[in-house]
Amino acid sequence: MLFKKIILTVSFFVSLKLISQSAITNDYFTARYFSDGKPGWSHTTGTGSNRILLVFVTNAGKNVSTDASGVSSVTYNGTAMTCLSKSEYRPRLKSYLYYLLNPASGTNTIAVNLENTADYCAVGSASFSNVTQASPYTETFGDNITAALSTISTPYVNDLLLGFCGSANNVTGVGVGQTQLFEAGSASKSYVNLSSKTSAASTTTFSIAIASSSADWELINARLTPTNAQVLPVELSKYQLKCFDGKVMLDWTTDSELNNDYFTVERSQDCRFFEQIAKIAGNGTTNEPIEYFYLDEEALEGIMYYRLKQTDYNGNSKTYAPLSARCEKESLEILMYPNPNHGIFSVHFPDYNNDVLILNSAGKIIYKQFVSSNQTQFNLEEIPAGIYHMMSHSIS
């Protein structure tokens, strides 16, 4: 038997709540270049909470054939900073990224101590506030081809992505979507490029053109996360309720999914105590829009409240704001014949110019057809035998 009942759309309610995140504040940038001496400079740090200070150092040997000696320490206001990442793919050029959590506000001295003070050194500093107090995520790359390329991705909304590049030759340009924040140096150079992302699971490729294919370069990527950042494994573009002859359907669409295990549909009569009524599998990780439905055939009379909960593979979950609807049963005469059938049947609708959807028991659309008259024939012979729901959705 193919059909057991028909469900007709009579009304719907729409509600979508978007969540915004605070951006990281860039307090200050500076850059210096040194040779034959101990580098030191003044840096001004703001007063915002949850601060972080970053110092980038590019070290080159005094002579072309001499390897870089490296950095022994970096201090801010006399406090030792921690080496977050180093890139030493090309021995003649070495790059380092240091950080310090909650540095003292105001203007203080940053000192970089080289293993060999005769080396060249290009440096830069930057401080930010409203940053998660943990080591930033970093990756390193290095080579001597004509383009410095690296890619960094983020699962968070409004992460700040930075690319720190040191080069032993002139840099001729930066990639699309990047902002060059500083440049320092001559025989060795330091550059910082920035790209701020506003969607989850996004990726930025840092690309910096090098003037000479024989020039060494080192590149360090870093990712800073706002203190109130949220992982958004699922981005909803639609989240609404619809009524069908006294039944309630929760209808939602994801624009993208990241490690999405499943959804839970919950129901309540008072918007205080919710019960789980359905569990629907997610689609893991995808950048394609996915539409979901759940039909509550046991909806009670009066106003009902429904909400959606999403759970990751690692067990983290997010609950969306509840929606409400009052769905009264309609007495509309709909004729379908023959029923049961073997996949070929006709349906008489009191209204037409509708989209008709066929849904399986999991609420997934398996067939869609536009009807322009009140009597339409359907051919679903290729669909396996079972019990399905028909939904006539007015487009007016």
Q: What is the pLDDT of residue 24?
A: 54
What CA–CA distance (Å, rounded) separates 266 from 21? 27
| 64 and 209 part of one domain | yes
Mean local confidence (pLDDT), 291-300: 84
pLDDT score of 275 more than 70? yes
| 117 and 81 part of one domain | yes
| 101 and 154 part of one domain | yes
| 212 and 166 part of one domain | yes
| 33 and 2 part of one domain | no
Q: What is the pLDDT of residue 14?
A: 22
Convert the pLDDT of each residue in 302-312 to its tens digit: 888 899 999 88
Q: What is the pLDDT of residue 362?
A: 66
| 191 and 286 part of one domain | no
160 φ, ψ to 5°?
Answer: -105, 120
Q: What is the pLDDT of residue 317?
A: 80
What CA–CA distance (Å, rounded) separates 245 from 292? 20
206, 224, 242 - which closes a domain:
224
Residue 78 pLDDT grade (very low, low, confident, very high; cuts 50, 70, 90): very high
Alpha-carbon 326 to chain mean position: 35
Residue 52 pLDDT grade (very low, low, confident, very high; cuts 50, 70, 90): very high
Q: Choose among 308, 307, 200, 314: nearest CA to 257.
A: 200
Residue with tokens 């009304």: 11
224, 254, 275 - which closes a domain:
224
Residue with tokens 């037409």: 352
Q: Choose among 332, 372, 331: nearest CA to 352.
A: 372
What domain count does the chain have? 2
Strands of 106-114's sheet, edge to edge? 40-45, 106-114, 71-76, 79-80
| 11 and 31 part of one domain | no
Asked whether 360 and 281 are in contact (CB, 8 A), the reply is no
Convert the pLDDT of each residue in 236-272 to its tens digit: 888 888 877 678 888 898 887 877 889 999 998 888 8
- What percentage of residues in the chain have a pLDDT greater than 90? 12
Q: Give the range of the structural domain holding residue 5, as residue numbers without chain letter.
A: 1-19+232-396
Mean local confidence (pLDDT), 332-339: 60
| 263 and 172 part of one domain | no
| 207 and 257 part of one domain | no
224, 249, 282 - which closes a domain:
224
| 208 and 248 part of one domain | no
| 208 and 71 part of one domain | yes
Asked whether 122 and 169 are in contact (CB, 8 A), the reply is no
Distances (CA, A) of 282 to 4, 176, 290: 27, 34, 9
| Residue that wins the pLDDT comparison between 218 and 83 | 83
Residue 206 pLDDT grade (very low, low, confident, very high; cuts 50, 70, 90): confident
| 304 and 241 part of one domain | yes
| Residue that wins the pLDDT comparison between 180 and 105 | 105
